[in-house]
Amino acid sequence: MHIEIRSENFSAWECLAAYEQEQAAQQHGKYGATAVFVGTMRDFNEGDDVTVMSLEHYPGMTEGYLKRICEEAESRWQIQDSLIIHRVGDVLPADAIVLVAVWSAHRADAFDASRYLMEELKSRAPFWKKERLVQGNERWVEKNTPDPGAEGLGKDI
Amino acid sequence: MTIRVKFFASLREQVGVSEREIGSDGINTVEDVWKEVTDGMTMPANVLIAINMEYVEGGSHVADGTEVAFFPPVTGG
């Protein structure tokens, strides 16, 4: 399990490759499925053009919450390993915001656990986005878009 | 003795406080903490509250020496 908050832009795919390299010694041959989610910044939101987004978190609580949901995922599904990297600071369109990866023996557990992590992260992990619009004004993003497909998957812990 | 209070994101801007220490005398619940720091501002219905970095419900007891945080709905990911 690895949780990381980054304040600089990162390549999700390079991080993933580097992490797989590191874990290879213990996990190599143990998993048959890797589910990966990468969230990137859009240059539009609610009909407006967005130029930059500032991400804030609650140092300490955010990391603790992410660790807790990874532990919860490990107890609910048969998974070998999990990884969450999340950006804070100023993010530009097309920059990665979040990387979630889950390794499991089988695809169902990898898909379900990664979906669970993303839904819990989006609904309860202490992060906040403020976006700057092309006109120069700023506004807080007030809520995340609900994902109807994920209904009933997450639960408060 | 003291209680450390933190506000995040839009609530920090509305209240005008990022972090403050208050005396714990007369403080029983998270609502008491809110009143002490916000100078009569109404607590938003959708506020999220944490004590020592764990989510708690409204009405929760605040012990001396703890950290209490108030923040709006989260928007990460």
Residues A37, A12: Cα–Cα separation, whole Å: 9
Contact assignment for A98 to B50 by CB distance below 8 Å: no
For residue A58, give the H/E element and its range: none
For residue B52, give the H/E element and its range: none
CA A112 from chain centre, in angstroms, equals: 14
B59 interface with A at CB cutoff 8 Å = no
Residue A146 falls within a domain, yes or no?
no
| Closest CA of chain B from A84, distance in Å | 10
Tell me, what CATH number does A15's domain have? Answer: 3.90.1170.40
- Quote the pLDDT of residue A52: 98
ipTM: 0.96
Q: B76 falls in which pLDDT band (50, 70, 90)? A: very high
Q: Which residue of B has its CA nearest to A99?
A: B77
Residue A152 falls within a domain, yes or no?
no
Contact assessment for residue A53 and residue B77, using Cβ atoms and an 8 Å cutoff: no
CATH architecture entry for B2-71: Roll (3.10)
Range of the domain at A137: 2-21+30-141
**pLDDT tens-digit map of B6-41:** 999 999 999 999 999 999 999 999 999 999 999 889
Cα dist. A55→A58, A145, B69, B75 in Å? 11, 17, 18, 9
Q: A156 falls in which pLDDT band (50, 70, 90)? A: very low
For the entire predicted model, the pTM comes to: 0.93
CB pairs under 8 A between A and B: 73
Contact assessment for residue A40 and residue A97, using Cβ atoms and an 8 Å cutoff: yes
Instruction: Measure the N-to-C terminal CA separation of chain A; round to a whole number of Å.
Output: 18
Domain residues of chain B, as ranges?
2-71
Residue A155 falls within a domain, yes or no?
no
Contact assignment for A61 to B69 by CB distance below 8 Å: yes
Residues with Cβ within 8 Å of A2's Cβ and at least 6 positions away in sequence, in order, are: A19, A82, A83, A84, A85
Residues of A with Cβ-Cβ distance to B69 under 8 angstroms: 58, 61
User: How many domains is chain A built from?
Assistant: 1
**pLDDT tens-digit map of A110-150:** 999 999 999 999 999 999 999 999 999 999 999 887 776 66
